[in-house]
Amino acid sequence: MKVNLGEGTDQELLKSTKDNSDAFEVLYARYYDHVYRRVLALLYETDLARDVVNETFMRLMEHRSRLVETDEQLWPWLATVAGNLAKNELRRRSRVVMFYEQRVAFSEADNDLQDFVGAHAAEIRHAIRLLSPFECTCIRLRYAEDMTTANIACRLEHSTHQVSVALDDAYTVLRLKLAYLSSSRNSPCSRKE
């Protein structure tokens, strides 16, 4: 039985996606705006919202056979997946903002800070060498050139999502490798009197 794609139910279209890519395009067109508005309401950033929506539909392709088998309703499934992905981005963003604010707190000209960084330059360089070339470039553009995530993505021709993930991964590595420096900077014996 051939399904008229424009009039097919979600379940009929999901069943058809295995043999007919047009069926998936109909589902994409049917739900894209709904999913996008839901994600944008959480993230308030259009590029990131588009990335999350596209990831949602990629997951739909991965899980379509389970949805057909269980006869699960498509819209609630899409809304849940998109909402979870958006919340993950919010958590990732809050960690990035927290690290960025820490950097700002120590960015004033401070001879003690310059001495401290100079004394630990080898450890800092070693930690940076652990980053991938893409992560290292993202960090350099963020802090040396003071670029936003969107500007970095544009310059490197990647999505803002990819840049956010790279920055988050880089921050994690740097925090782990350099955490002991933070405590030694604050200890009484490391300060000049």
Instruction: Assign residue 54 the CATH number of its domain.
Output: 1.10.1740.10
Q: What is the DSSP letter of 130?
A: T
How do residues 96-110 score in pLDDT, each as one tens digit?
544 444 444 444 445
CA-to-CA distance for 136 and 158, rounded, in angstroms? 15
Q: How many domains does the chain have?
A: 2
128 located within any domain: yes
185 located within any domain: yes
Tell whether the model's pLDDT for residue 27 goes beyond 90: yes
Burial class (CB within 10 angstroms; exposed 0-12, middle 13-18, buried 19+) of 170 = buried
Do residues 69 and 131 both lie within one domain?
no
CA-to-CA distance for 31 and 125, rounded, in angstroms? 47
pLDDT at residue 105 in the model: 42
How do residues 64-82 score in pLDDT, each as one tens digit?
989 988 888 999 999 999 9
Specify the higher pLDDT residue, 104 or 114.
114
Tell whether the model's pLDDT for residue 58 goes beyond 90: yes
Q: What is the DSSP letter of 190?
A: G
Q: What is the DSSP letter of 176?
A: H
Taking residues 45-73, report their average pLDDT: 90
pLDDT at residue 164 in the model: 85
For residue 49, the enclosing domain spans 10-88
H/E run at residue 132: none
Tell whether the model's pLDDT for residue 37 goes beyond 70: yes
Taking residues 10-22, report their average pLDDT: 87
Taking residues 165-183, report their average pLDDT: 77
CATH number, domain of 133, equals 1.10.10.10
Question: Cβ(93)–Cβ(164) under 8 Å?
Answer: yes
> What mean pLDDT value characterizes the chain?
78
97 located within any domain: no
160 located within any domain: yes
pLDDT at residue 39 in the model: 92
161 CB-near residues (< 8 Å, 6+ apart): 47, 48, 51, 52, 55, 89
95 located within any domain: no
Tell whether the model's pLDDT for residue 85 goes beyond 50: yes
